Structure formats: C-alpha cells, structure tokens
Amino acid sequence: METRVAVMSIIVEQADSVETLNSILHEYSMYIIGRMGIPYRQKNISIISIAIDAPQDKISTLAGRIGKLSGISVKTAFSSVISHEDV
C-alpha cells in the first residue's frame, strides 16, 4: 500500500460543527501522526493542524468530509514523501 505524508489546515468558524469534526477525525485516528488546535478567541475561531500519513484516497476522503461541514474550511498540503507498506 502506498501512503503519503500530508498536513491539513482546518479553520472552524462554527462551534456547533466541532463534535462532528472530532468524530470524523477519530475515525481516521490510525493515520493521524499529530494534531494541534489553537483557539483564536479574538476572532471567535479555532485553527487546527493535522499531520497525517495515509493512502492518498483516504486523505482526500477525509478532507472532503471535513469540507462538507458547515462553518469549517480545510486545505491539504502533500509532501513528496511516499512510502510503500505491506498491509
């Protein structure tokens, strides 16, 4: 199986979508290397950064699911690092 390393930047503008976001991230926890969340209280938003190592289709699916949530935007940056792992 081929995996890619990527970073997802997530901006949360609606707090009522956070529970669903956390549930989705939990589903993909086996691929998540690390997660950092920063509340930006002056702007009433949260900024989340996710480092992930997963097959490209899993990363794209995760980003798509997050992007469909109300009040949440996501962008993904892919590394050129590709690993080949046996399942």
Contact 3, 82 (CB under 8 A): yes
Domain that holds residue 47: 2-84
How many angstroms separate the CA atoms of 28 and 47, rounded?
19
- Asked if pLDDT for residue 87 goes beyond 60, the answer is no
pLDDT in tens, 14-35: 999 999 999 999 999 999 999 9
How many angstroms separate the CA atoms of 10 and 4, rounded?
19
What CATH number does residue 73 fall under? 3.30.70.1150
Q: What is the number of domains present in the chain?
A: 1
